[in-house]
């Protein structure tokens, strides 16, 4: 009899450790730009330091995924947690001694990006061995809720703790990563069979991972559609911030807007396991495209930050179900020896999209009015929705049990 996910000791430890770690990371990432600005007085330098963290994740994504497939995944998670704790602890010490430099902050930001780029694929690959296949979609949905909860709590704490003292949010981050490290020590990850390929080089393994992603028809199409959607929604978020600020919405209400997006994400993640079972994969994915296509232009008619927050809340409800569907399919389909590379490639692609989207939104809102920028983005999302709806590949998106059966048969055939 399968043990309920709520009683799976190893999954609970992993979930709790990363909820704490995520809260600490979010608190420090809110405080980081405030710290850079306080030390340098330069907004440009603030952007540089934060950009380094994002760039490091993108650059390390693919090679990091290949290393995850080579090395012990639990050891990678432990090392990443320890390195983050030590890197941020060095900030605390430098602040305490009043010797903090810009170079030091850049190095810490880069290390944080590298650790995140390694931890994400390692956790995703290990998750399939920690929870049964039939519980994977629920585990992924709960991980999504965990991320939203960590971001909400960390974002709220970061500003408050920085007001108490510059080093306080970073000391909090060190504490959460240390506790997370200790919890991960007790997580049992079943051993895996690693293919010994002495003639293989890291570059060859990276190419193999990229080829795997490209050759899987459903993976390729969903990635292209999802990345396009994420790109335009990231741009939309920046456009909305500029739009409401120009309409006189207070910074406090803008903060509530951002929080409502997170609250919607949490509720959507909690609903995702049920919706994932109730509706077909095609419906759950296409529903997100059309929901966003319908909701994005509504912002043109809203002058209240609180009402805009309700709009953001509605927009955040369905994406966790689609993400659960897509991620479950990808992990079940992909052989264990390639799961790290799959997550690394996905992380790199989403990182590029997340970085390019806001930049595009900023340029767009400078070129045209805020309302026109909203309508242009809404039109682009509608085009993506039409393409996805008409795609034969999307219409044939398989259910979990079909994927698991096909993947098992493929591995059995390979073993023969």
* Domain boundaries along the sequence of the chain: 1-185, 203-416
Burial of 221 by CB count in 10 Å (0-12 exposed, 13-18 middle, 19+ buried)?
Answer: middle
d(CA 97, CA 81): 24
pLDDT tens, N- to C-terminus, the chain (416 residues): 677 888 899 999 999 999 999 888 888 887 887 888 788 877 667 767 777 888 888 889 899 999 999 889 999 999 999 999 999 999 999 999 999 898 999 999 899 989 999 999 999 999 999 999 889 999 999 998 888 888 777 777 887 888 888 899 999 999 999 999 999 999 999 887 655 455 568 888 888 888 988 888 888 888 888 888 888 988 898 888 888 878 887 767 777 787 888 889 889 999 998 888 888 999 999 999 999 999 999 999 988 888 998 999 999 998 999 999 999 998 888 888 889 998 888 888 888 887 788 878 888 888 888 889 999 999 999 999 999 999 999 998 888 766 655 555 444 444 44
pLDDT of residue 193: 63
Just give the CATH number of 203-416. 1.20.1250.20
The reported pTM is 0.84
Please, which residues have CB within 8 angstroms of residue 21's CB and are 6 or more apart in sequence?
Answer: 81, 84, 150, 176, 177, 180
User: What is the distance of C-alpha 338 from the center of its chain?
Assistant: 20
3-state secondary structure (DSSP) of residue 219: helix
* Phi-psi category of residue 72: left, alpha or beta, with phi > 0 → left and psi -120 to 50 → alpha: beta
**Residues 316 and 268 sit within 8 Å (Cβ to Cβ):** yes
CATH fold for the domain made of 1-185: Growth Hormone; Chain: A; (1.20.1250)
**Residues 152 and 29 sit within 8 Å (Cβ to Cβ):** no
> Radius of gyration over alpha carbons of the chain, in Å?
21
Q: Is the dihedral of CA 332, 152, 318, 269 positive or negative?
A: positive
pLDDT of residue 416: 44
pLDDT of residue 415: 45
Two domains, one topology: 1-185 and 203-416: yes
d(CA 339, CA 336): 5
Q: At what angle do helices 370-390 and 281-295 cross, to 10 degrees?
A: 160
DSSP state of 199: T
Q: What phi and psi values does residue 165 have, to the nearest 5 degrees?
A: -175, 145
């Amino acid at each position: 009899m399968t043990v309920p996910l709520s009683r799976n000791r190893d999954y609970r430890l992993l979930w709790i450790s990363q909820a704490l770690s995520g809260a600490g990371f979010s608190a420090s990432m809110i405080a980081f730009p405030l710290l850079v600005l306080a030390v340098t007085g330069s907004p440009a330098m603030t952007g540089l330091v934060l950009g380094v963290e994002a760039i490091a994740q993108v650059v390390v994504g693919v090679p990091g995924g290949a290393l995850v497939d080579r090395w012990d995944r639990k050891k990678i998670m432990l090392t990443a947690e320890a390195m983050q704790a030590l890197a941020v602890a060095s900030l605390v010490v430098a602040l305490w001694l009043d010797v903090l430099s810009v170079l030091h902050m850049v190095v810490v930001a880069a290390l944080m990006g590298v650790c995140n780029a390694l931890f994400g694929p390692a956790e995703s690959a290990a998750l399939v061995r920690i929870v049964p296949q039939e519980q994977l979609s629920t585990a992924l949905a709960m991980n999504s809720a965990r991320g939203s909860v960590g971001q909400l709590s960390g974002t709220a704490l970061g500003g408050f703790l920085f007001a108490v003292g510059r080093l306080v949010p970073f000391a909090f981050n060190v504490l959460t990563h240390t506790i997370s490290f200790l919890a991960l020590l007790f997580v049992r990850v079943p051993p895996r069979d690693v293919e010994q390929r002495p003639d293989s080089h890291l570059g060859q393994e990276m190419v193999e991972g990229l080829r795997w992603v490209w050759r899987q028809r459903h993976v390729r199409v969903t990635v292209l559609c999802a990345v396009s959607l994420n790109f335009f929604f990231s741009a939309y978020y920046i456009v909305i911030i500029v739009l409401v600020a120009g309409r006189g919405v207070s910074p406090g209400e803008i903060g509530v807007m951002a929080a409502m997006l997170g609250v919607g994400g949490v509720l959507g993640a909690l609903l995702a396991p049920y919706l994932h079972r109730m509706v077909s994969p095609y419906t759950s994915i296409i529903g997100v495209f059309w929901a966003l296509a319908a909701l994005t232009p509504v912002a043109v008619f809203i002058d209240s930050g609180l009402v805009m927050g309700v709009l953001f809340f509605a927009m955040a409800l369905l994406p966790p179900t689609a993400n659960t569907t897509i991620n479950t399919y990808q992990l079940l389909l992909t052989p264990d020896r390639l799961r790290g590379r799959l997550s690394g490639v996905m992380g790199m692609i989403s990182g590029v999209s997340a970085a390019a989207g806001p930049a595009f939104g900023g340029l767009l809102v400078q070129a045209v009015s805020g309302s026109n920028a909203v309508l242009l983005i809404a039109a682009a999302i509608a085009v993506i929705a039409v393409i996805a709806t008409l795609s034969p590949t999307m219409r044939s998106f398989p259910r979990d049990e079909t994927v698991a059966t096909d993947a098992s048969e493929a591995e059995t055939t390979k073993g023969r």
